[in-house]
Structure 1
Amino acid sequence: MSGIDPEALADAVYGIFEIYLNRELRRRGPYLFELVEQGIDFKEKLREIFSRFREDYPELADALLKRFGSIDAIYAPLREGEGVSPSKTTRTYWIVQDAPGPHERGVDDERAGKWLIFVPAGEADEAWRKVRNETVEGRLGISAKVSTARPDPDSRDERTVIYVYTKDWADEADVMRVRERLRKLGFKERIGYKRNIETFRGEYSEEGRKVTYYSA
């Protein structure tokens, strides 16, 4: 791993570990957000999962410990909302929540698309909680994600953005079903839906030019 920026490596490794952690916690029981929001101590579970991570990816685990020093240093921010609340997450650019069950198409499929919800940073935690919970219950799309408090040099907006993915942009009935559900959650202002095709092409809305496929 020589020649790689240590900070960039640590960030990448942490992102991998957080995905691993969420997957393993879910296999064992509650989601990370449930443990945090219910005030349940999960330090021992974290230690067990990290030990398994170290067995599977020894170099990555060593890089993680080199950056943070100890399991306790990883646990403390998680306990306070890192990876759960957008306002308290500074180690990753996004928090992701997938809907339960297998899906024919993932969020990276070109047939997928997403509703874009922009909210002031001060309203992000509550807005995300609503979307996340509905996603977990299977009442929205196949996945959702929210930008975090970590400054993103590629961001085009100072507001927090929430993506709500559907599996097929051509399935207008399903796309609008999700939009109606979002409206019932309180997101009543007009929002846009963008196909992954435009995202993959690097196409973004500019003054006088929109790339949203639906608007409702």
Structure 2
Amino acid sequence: MKEGIGVEEQLSWKTDKPSEDLSCNWHYKRSPSYNDSASTDATGKWCIFVSPTEVDEVWNKISGAIESNQLLCAKVSTALRSMGRDGHVICVYTRDWADRQDLVRVRVVLQSLGFVQELGYRRDIDTRNRIYGSGEWYLRA
């Protein structure tokens, strides 16, 4: 809790830092060339799990790649969304999970940003259908 700020104010406290934001569940970022915000049966995302101490720095890396049109769009869980969890998740989206070339291209961009550990790719249709467990990852790379 921040000193000098009442509990009620803190519960609606908005900040650019995902690690501190208690006003919403997610922060979103879209590239200047991205003009569609809808999730479809074709969209999917690479999922990056990070600790609360790393999330702001990692989100800045992803945001920079989005601003330079290397990545399409992404979202990051905030402090509000991550309460009671081990950390944060950053979802880096692609337009079409069947476009393997684009999935690989985005994965290479993420590797160039330092995300060299294995990541899971999840189709939005699987998220909507609540497919979790052994079959939840469409791809791991």
Is 1:164 aligned with 2:89?
no
Are residues 167 and 148 of structure 1, via their aligned partners in 2, closer, same or farther at CA, if it must alter by over 3 Å? Answer: same
Is 1:150 aligned with 2:71?
no
Task: Name 2:102's counterpart in structure 1.
Answer: 174
CA contact (8 A) 2:82 2:88 kept: no
Is 1:211 aligned with 2:140?
no
CA RMSD of aligned residues (A): 2.1
Task: Name 2:23's counterpart in structure 1.
Answer: 91
Are residues 102 and 145 of structure 1, via their aligned partners in 2, closer, same or farther at CA, if it must alter by over 3 Å? Answer: closer
Count of aligned positions = 132
Task: Name 2:44's counterpart in structure 1.
Answer: 113
Query: Take 1:88 and 1:158, find their aligned partners in 2: how far apart are those partners?
Result: 15
Query: Take 2:34 and 2:137, find their aligned partners in 1: how far apart are those partners?
Result: 27
Q: Moved runs in structure 1, 4+ residues, more than 3 A?
A: none
Query: Take 2:81 and 2:101, find their aligned partners in 1: how far apart are those partners?
Result: 36
Q: CA deviation at 1:151?
A: 4.4
1:31-90 CA-to-partner distances (Å, cap 9, x unmatched) read xxxxxxxxxxxxxxxxxxxxxxxxxxxxxxxxxxxx97xxxxx9xx55xxx1x2111211
Structure number, greater radius of gyration: 1
Equivalent position SS for 2:19: helix
Q: Which has the higher helix share?
A: 1
Q: Which has the higher strand share?
A: 2
1:126 aligns with one of 54, 57, 78? 57
Query: Take 1:196 and 1:162, find their aligned partners in 2: how far apart are those partners?
Result: 14
Task: Name 1:197's counterpart in structure 2.
Answer: 125
1:109-156 CA-to-partner distances (Å, cap 9, x unmatched) read 11110000001111000000000110121101x210000111457x8x
Q: CA deviation at 1:210?
A: 3.0
Equivalent position SS for 2:49: strand
Q: Specify which structure has the bigger relative contact order, considering alpha-carbon pairs within 8 angstroms and separated by 6 or more residues.
A: 2
TM-score w.r.t. structure 1 length?
A: 0.56
Q: CA deviation at 1:106?
A: 3.7
- Which consecutive residues of structure 1, in runs of 5 or more, have no partner in the other structure? 1-66, 69-73
Equivalent position SS for 2:54: helix
CA contact (8 A) 1:115 1:191 kept: yes
The one-letter amino acid paired with 2:139 is Y
